[in-house]
Amino acid sequence: METSLLSFTQRNMWESKEKTFFKLMPGSAKEEASKEAKIRAKEKRNRLSLLLQKSEFHEEPQARRSAHLAGVTRVCPEEAIRWGESFDKLLSHKDGLETFTRFLKTEFSEENIEFWMACEDFKKSKDPQQMILKAKAIYERFIQNDAPQEVNLDFHTKELIVKSITQPTLHSFDAAQSRVYQLMEQDSYTRFLKSDIYSDLVEGRPQRPTNLRRRSRSFTYNEFQDVKSDVAIWF
C-alpha cells in the first residue's frame, strides 16, 4: 500500500514538474516537444500492435498449423516437376494453385491469382442475378480505381468491363483475366520456378517457414445474400 502511494505521489510530482517545464519553454520549443511526445506515443502504439499480432499467431491452434504443414508437404517431387512444364499445369492442379498462391503472398501480389480465380468462378454462374452480383463484386474488389486489390490493367481493358458491368455476360472479364494470366506467366511464374518454395518441393525437402503478411478481412461472394461461391480456396 505504501509503495502504491509512493508511486502515485512520484507520478503527480513528475507531471507537475513536466507542466511547469512546458510553461517555461518558448513557443517553438513547446511545439517541438509536443511533436516528439506524439511520435513516442505512436511508437508505443505500434509496438503494442506488433505484440498483439505475435500473440495471435502463437495462439493459433497447433492442429491447424500441423494441418497446414501437412497440406504443403504432401506434394510428391514428381508432381512438382510437372508444374515446371507449363504455367497451365501448375494452375490446373489444386496443390499447385495453393503453392503458387503462397508464393505470391511472399511477393505481396496475391491479388493477381485471386482475381484469376474469381473470374474462373464467375464463368460458372448460371443465374442472371447471381452473375450481376458477382460481376459487381469483382469490379469493386479488383478493377475500379483504388480498389482494395486493384490489378494492373490498361485503360482500354477497364473500359470494356465498365461498359458491360450493368449487363454482364460470362465473357465480361475474359480480356482482363487473359491479361493478368499473361503477367503471371511471364513474370511471377518464372520467379516461382527459381524460388525456395518450389525447389524444396522438387528436391523433397521439408518446407521452410515463409514470411507472410497478415491477411486483410476475407472477401468472398458469400457476403452477398443468396450468392454462393464454390472457390473455397479464395483468401
For the beta carbon of residue 206, count every other beta carbon within 10 angstroms.
8
Of 30-34, 69-73, 79-83, give the range with the top mean pLDDT. 79-83
The candidate with the shortest Cα–Cα distance to 221, out of 152, 77, 120, is 120
SS (H, E, C) 144-199: CCCCCCCCCCCHHHHHHHHHHCCCCCCCCCHHHHHHHHHHHHHHHHHHHHCCHHHH
- Please count the helices (runs of H) and the strands (runs of E) in the chain: 12, 0
Q: How far apart are CA 106 and CA 96, in angstroms?
A: 16
Taking each helix axis as running N to C, give the angle between helix 196-203 and helix 94-106, from 0 to 180 degrees, rounded to the nearest 10: 140
Q: What is the pLDDT of residue 74?
A: 75
How many angstroms separate the most distant Cα atoms in the chain? 76
Q: What is the pLDDT of residue 52?
A: 44
134, three cell numbers:
458477382
Q: How far apart are CA 34 and CA 26, in angstroms?
A: 12
Q: How far apart are CA 178 and CA 40, in angstroms?
A: 48
Q: What is the pLDDT of residue 137?
A: 97
158-214: pLDDT as tens digits: 999 999 999 999 999 999 999 999 999 999 999 999 999 999 999 988 877 665 544
Sorted by where each starts, the structural domains of the chain and their CATH numbers stand as: 77-203 (1.10.167.10)
pLDDT-derived band of residue 72, with 50, 70 and 90 as boundaries?
Answer: very low
**What is the reported pTM?**
0.60
